[in-house]
Structure 1
Amino acid sequence: MIKKAVIPAAGWGTRFLPITKSQPKEMIPIVDTPVIQYVVEEAVASGITDILMIIGKGKRAIEEHFDRSPQLEESLIAKKQLGLLEQIKKISNLANIHFIWQKEMNGLGDAISYARYHVGREPFAVLLGDTLISGKGAPITKQLIDVYDRYKSSVVALEEVPPENVHRYGVIQGKKLENNVLIAEDFIEKPAKEEAPSNLAIASRYVFTPEIFDYLDETKPGKNNEIQLTDAMREMVKKYAMYGLQFQGTRYDIGNKLDFLKTNIIYGLEHEEIGAPLREWLREFSKKL
């Protein structure tokens, strides 16, 4: 049973400057909740109890968000704001959350390698801290864990993307085994459209067996002079079976400003407090466009 997860959250967030000059991109809110809290909640809903976050310079706000805040709690008690009190206490009790600092920004593969001693010889999940995925039925990470339980091998989430966008992602080359599960033959990092073996992109969620650390150790810097996780996966799949799951759900990429705003609107429409008035405002506002 997979109980450990790794959440890399050390990147600079340059596409969101100037706000990310002093605020981690993972702490940017979707409505009233930081992105990374949604990611942690997905992990917990998938059965994860132990989370290691890989953070870097300027990310201490993430630590503080998941820690207790006694002064704030006392203030809410004094004001009898017990609903808010329950919300903030729940944040610090979601899971056993640990932090380690990535010394240099050397890519996603390097960040995950910091989890070797925390994970040990156990399989583990990886959830990127700046991407939201809403699953149909079970959370996406739980869907991956279910596939791992069937095949006892690493598995990655896959999303079908327009062919003209494959250059933005790592993509899989593989053969279909069952409805939405493929066995991987190769992975290619950000291929040109004409070189892509498929339009199934790796979608920010993974389950790995611990052998991935051995391959990360041997991986040389690739694109952007960084240790690319996809490069390690390419070598690993030559010896170990790996799978891809074309998941049931929707991925919200908040890595750019436009998609960030779209995601806020979508989540806002589902919010119990502001959903109805937001929907009415959108109707009225759209008439002026």
Structure 2
Amino acid sequence: MKRKVTKAIFPVAGLGTRFLPATKSIPKEIMTLVDRPLIQYAIDEARAAGIKEFIFVTSRGKSALEDYFDSAPMLEAELRRKDKFELLEMLKSTNMESGAIAYIRQQKALGLGHAVWCARRLIANEPFAVILPDDVIAGEEPCLKQMVEAYAETGGNMVAAMEVPREKAKAYGILDVKEEMGDMVSVSGMVEKPAVEDAPSNLAVIGRYILTPTVLNNIGKVKKGAGGELQLTDAIAAEIDGEGVYGYRFRGQRFDCGSKAGFLQATVAFGLARDDLRDEFQQYIHELVAMQKAAQ
């Protein structure tokens, strides 16, 4: 009998140097996409997938991230006094129940694999999800929910997968496909950030995972990989001949909010998707394009 996935790890220890100077004083995960911080999108996706326990792997300087999920009695009282009940209800989605959230420090930046490994004692012997908040995925059904439903059929280890242009394979973990299975593929190998000529496919791993606890043991055994870091990809690949590894082609659009261009693209897409913003925002974009054309 497959166990339900109720725990998720959120690796948020990175310094966010690509967004300096903004990230000098605030964690990148608190940066707002329209009117919600990146981490809220990740939390909402996890909740929709049935996650009950949230484990954050953090580092020094991330206290604002912890405060975000705490209650704010003075602010709530002020909103209540002014009868701003809609805002009050919105705030509730940012609060986490006592005991539902845990924070683990990654004291050395040794890679994604190491960040996940830091949470091993809280995972114990259960399957678990990993969500990278930098990858924001818009879709009718949340990506992790899609994966949890597929995992109920396959078990093993599952990674979110997306086709990318061949020349960009060097920026991702790439799957070596063993068998096509509709939305899924079974995997015969995984390569982290391969050279273009060495990429076994153009099917890239995106920041959503459902993993067996054995992967945590593997992380403690694998050697440092690409970039001199402990790669999560290598630890997952070690399970190909064991519990098995599957790639899941999710339905939705992924935005790389770890890059400035990706963050801007997500801002436009999510802004246009909002009923309360669409008309004014769309008009502005049309006017901006018209001005640029006129200037050429």
TM range (shorter): over 0.9
Q: Which residue of 1 aligns with 2:113?
A: 109
SS at match of 1:48: coil
Q: Which amino acid aligns with 2:68?
A: H
Matched-pair contact (CA < 8 Å) for 1:172–1:201: yes
Q: Which residue of 1 aligns with 2:45?
A: 42
Q: Which residue of 1 aligns with 2:122?
A: 118
Q: Which amino acid aligns with 1:41?
A: D
Tell me, yes or no, if structure 1 residue 167 matches structure 2 residue 170.
Answer: yes
Matched-pair contact (CA < 8 Å) for 1:44–1:94: no
Q: Which residue of 2 aligns with 1:12?
A: 15
Deviation at 1:43, TM superposition (A): 0.6
State the distance in 2 between where 1:60 and 1:43 align: 21
2:282 to 265, 272, 279: 279
The alignment covers a number of residue pairs equal to: 288
State the distance in 2 between where 1:7 and 1:52 align: 6
Tell me, yes or no, if structure 1 residue 193 matches structure 2 residue 191.
Answer: no
Matched-pair contact (CA < 8 Å) for 2:54–2:101: yes
Deviation at 1:211, TM superposition (A): 0.5
Q: Which amino acid aligns with 1:72?
A: L
Offset from partner CA, 1:24-53 (integer Å, 9 cap, x none): 111111011001100100010111111111
Q: Which residue of 2 aligns with 1:87?
A: 90
1:154 to 151, 154, 157: 157
State the distance in 2 between where 1:271 and 1:135 align: 14
User: What runs of 5+ residues in structure 2 fail to find an aligned partner?
Assistant: none
TM-score (norm 1): 0.96
Q: Which amino acid aligns with 1:262?
A: Q
- Find runs of 4+ consecutive structure 1 residues off by over 3 angstroms: none
For 1:51-90, what aligned pairs fall within 5 Å after superposition? 51-90=54-93
SS at match of 1:91: coil
Deviation at 1:62, TM superposition (A): 1.0
TM-score (norm 2): 0.94
Q: Which residue of 1 aligns with 2:236?
A: 233
SS at match of 1:285: helix
Matched-pair contact (CA < 8 Å) for 1:41–1:94: no
Deviation at 1:93, TM superposition (A): 4.0
User: What runs of 5+ residues in structure 1 fail to find an aligned partner?
Assistant: none
Farther-moved stretch of structure 1 (154-163 vs 173-182): 173-182
Q: Which residue of 2 aligns with 1:31?
A: 34
Q: Please, what is the CA RMSD of the aligned residues?
A: 1.4
Q: Which residue of 2 aligns with 1:260?
A: 263
Deviation at 1:94, TM superposition (A): 7.4
State the distance in 2 between where 1:210 and 1:134 align: 28
Q: Which amino acid aligns with 1:247?
A: F
**Percent identity among equivalent residues?**
38
State the distance in 1 between where 2:246 and 2:94 align: 33
Deviation at 1:80, TM superposition (A): 1.9
Farther-moved stretch of structure 1 (84-93 vs 19-28): 84-93
